[in-house]
Chains A and B, each alone.
Chain A
Amino acid sequence: MKVSDARVCVLRIEGTNCEEESYLSFKRLGAKPEKVHLKQLTGTDVTSDEKRSLADYQVLVLPGGFSSGDYVRAGAIFAARIKSRLSRDMVEFVRAGKPVLGICNGFQILVETGLLPAMSGIMTEVPEAVLSTNDSARFECRPTLLRKVNRGSCAFTTKIPRNKISAIPSAHAEGKLMFPVDRSKSIVKELADNDQLVFKYVNPEGELAGYPWCPNGSTENIAGICNREGNVFGLMPHPERVFFRYTHPDWTRNPEGAGDGKAVFESVLDYVSKKL
């Protein structure tokens, strides 16, 4: 399918606040994004003109923010609302190989719905992981460096060379990716074997390093993961905030080229143009 025909659903509810940048990232690359409220998909409290069907879109984006005020746990309420009304549509969407991107709060939502890490099946009934409170117990808003560790499965990073370090900023209070403590090591190994690890927080030398390079204390410095098929991807840092070079903190010293986040959106649109 042509990129210019690719419809992108940027899904929001109350408290979502990164939908504009996410929407524009796809718009600038020639796709057809649309900001859609969850109620438009479930058909509640909306007119017939406003109703939308998830099946009409090729890409789904869960943008960052503080959906439902981060009550209960970050992303938990949005996830509960998706699970209650859209479970089947969601599973169909993923099964059809259509890409789903969760950024920051969106990643938290994907984990809470069980769409990530999804080591068995497409959507697990209970979460297999959690994005827990940062080790610092604070909101961490800072530039972070991510090394791409994915070997090729992830549809969102095909335009980024393996081991390249991208500067993509983080801004979250609950970004520490954790698995059940007693099985954490074997789960991470399984994720690596399945090629589900995508980005890790590193220092400028590309080594796994502690705070502040890793802003949250995440297990093995993991910043982003995908499902086994590579079409569902979640990450805590914000690629949409560095679409242009001039939003990088060092842009006056390195003014040339695109922003490091642009490649994420280019990769997924490339996937859409070749696979859908």
Chain B
Amino acid sequence: MAVAEVRITLKKGVADPEGKNTLKALGLLGFEGVRDVRSVKVFVIETEGEAGEAKRSVEEMCRKLLANPVIHNYSIRIK
């Protein structure tokens, strides 16, 4: 069995309203020195089979469902 951790991040130049709103709210709560907040989505996927195979199939999952290439980058870490 392999466990893959998939991180879906927004591409550079794509607005991140969730991150920006969180940044604003943290400021309102009195947290100082917060420079930026970015939102990231993480999926943890357990698969059968060995690591190399898992990597390939999770790549395919990212391409077909988990990420939209217009705004997303993804990275995969096999644990």
Residues of A within 8 A of B (CB): 72-73, 76-77, 80, 83, 112, 126-130, 132-137, 176, 178-182, 217
Per the bound structure, the CA–CA distance linking A182 and B66 in Å amounts to 22
Is A130's CB under 8 angstroms from B68's CB?
yes
Please, what's the 1-or-0 string for B5-31, where 1 marks a CB less than 8 Å from any CB in chain A?
000000101110110110000000000
**Known interface pairs A133-B18, A137-B18; A181-B65 also in contact (CB < 8 Å):** no
Is A181's CB under 8 angstroms from B17's CB?
no
Is B17's CB under 8 angstroms from A126's CB?
no
Is B15's CB under 8 angstroms from A73's CB?
no
Given contacts A77-B65, A132-B15, 16 further A-B contacts (CB under 8 A): A72-B65, A73-B68, A76-B65, A76-B68, A83-B64, A126-B69, A127-B69, A128-B70, A130-B68, A130-B70, A137-B21, A178-B71, A180-B69, A181-B11, A181-B14, A182-B13
Which chain A residues lie closer than 8 Å to B14 at the CB level?
Answer: 132, 178, 181
Is A135's CB under 8 angstroms from B17's CB?
yes
Per the bound structure, the CA–CA distance linking A207 and B65 in Å amounts to 37
Is A127's CB under 8 angstroms from B17's CB?
no
Answer yes or no: B63 CB below 8 A from chain A CBs. yes
Interface residues of B in 48-71 (CB under 8 A from A): 63-66, 68-71
Which chain B residues lie closer than 8 Å to A77 at the CB level?
Answer: 65
**Known interface pairs A80-B64, A80-B65, A132-B14; A179-B20 also in contact (CB < 8 Å):** no
